[in-house]
Amino acid sequence: MRRATLESRHLLKEARRILKKKGAQLPGAVAATVRAAMQGVVDASAAADVDRMRKANITLDEVMDDHLSFARKSTLREYAESIGVAIAVALLLRAFVVEAFQIPSGSMIPTLEVGDHIFVSKFSYGLSIPFTDTKILQYSQPARGDVIVFKFPQDTSTDYIKRVVGLPGDTVEVRQGQLYVNGNEIHRERVPERCHYSEVSTAGVPDDHDCERWVETLGKKVHDTILEPAHPAQDHPRTVIPPGEVFVMGDNRDNSYDSRKWGTVKMNLIKGRALIIWWSRGNSAPNPVGWAKAIRWKRFFTVVH
């Protein structure tokens, strides 16, 4: 029944399209024959009689072959049009709605790990002209604690992902790993469990890290960060964020190349806000016992905090 119904809808849609575009060119008798065959399909569908529907579909298909073949689409054309529509929809979604990214480095551990695949909302803050940095509509700005994807200010062909810690007009400072915003110490609490993660270096050698895990409250966002006691603390002098720019940092505070090194990010370079981890692989998570090199199912479709 389902197959016969779909076929009926397809044939009726095609017949109506042809009659609408080419009906004036058809002899009256031909148009009447086609409409009679169409009515047969409609009546059979209303009766919900599968055998009758199949026969009516065959009849309409043959009538269209006999009289409307000059206007019918070939199977190749139908497939091409369907593929074209699918590609156009995908491009529009990617340009204005959501885009997929893969995390290439450990700068956002433990929130995002090497190999995580994420979806990024491209309409969270406004809309841009595709393939440009020009905003056509800006209706909000990032909040403190948002994880954003942006074009790296020193090389806009490269995308970075970091957490927003300072907004336009804010004063940001880092002392001994402690973040201060507008002179206020950002609240954080140490997680007592052992923290350890492992990455593979560019030379292909495992790189193990012992770390401290902290739960930080930034704005309305509560998230994890890590520090490495073996590394000197990356301090940053008091900095006032210029209008239209944000200050960003990685959650892996001692292994993040961020605003402490190269400055702030202009709003027009922001591509969107990280939404969810839709798939994850790798072995870089901080964990008391380490991670196996396998798909981490517990991170499948996880909201990014």
**Structure confidence by residue, pLDDT tens digits, 214-236:** 999 998 899 999 998 887 777 89
Using alpha carbons, select from 86, 116, 60 the residue that is nearest to residue 285: 116
The pLDDT of residue 179: 95
Question: Tens digit of pLDDT for each residue in 125-180?
Answer: 877 777 676 777 777 889 999 999 999 999 999 999 999 999 999 999 999 889 99
Decide which of 118 and 68 is more confident. 118
Look at 8-22, 82-96, 160-174, 270-284 and tell me which has the smallest mean pLDDT: 82-96
Using alpha carbons, select from 261, 259, 286 the residue that is nearest to residue 167: 259
Catalytic center residues: 107, 162
The pLDDT of residue 297: 55
For 228-245, what is the mean pLDDT?
Answer: 89
Strands (E) in the chain, as ranges, are 98-102, 117-121, 126-128, 135-138, 147-152, 155-166, 171-175, 178-181, 184-185, 188-200, 206-218, 221-227, 236-240, 245-249, 265-266, 270-279, 302-303
The one-letter amino acid at 303: V
pTM of the model: 0.70
Reported confidence tier of residue 85, pLDDT bands at 50, 70, 90: confident
**100 pLDDT more than 80:** yes
Distance CA 220, CA 13 (A): 52
Reported confidence tier of residue 280, pLDDT bands at 50, 70, 90: confident
Residue ranges and CATH numbers for the domains of the chain are 2-72 (1.20.1270), 91-303 (2.10.109.10)
Distance CA 88, CA 22 (A): 28
**286 pLDDT more than 70:** no
Within 13 A of 115's CA, how many CA atoms are on the CB side? 14
Decide which of 204 and 276 is more confident. 276
Residue 19 has phi, psi (to 5 degrees) of -65, -35
Share of the chain above pLDDT 70, in %: 89
CB proximity list for 181: less than 8 A, separation 6 or greater: 144, 165, 166, 170, 171, 172, 218
The pLDDT of residue 204: 61
Reported confidence tier of residue 291, pLDDT bands at 50, 70, 90: very low
Distance CA 186, CA 216 (A): 7
**74 pLDDT more than 70:** no
> What's the chain's average pLDDT?
85
**296 pLDDT more than 80:** no
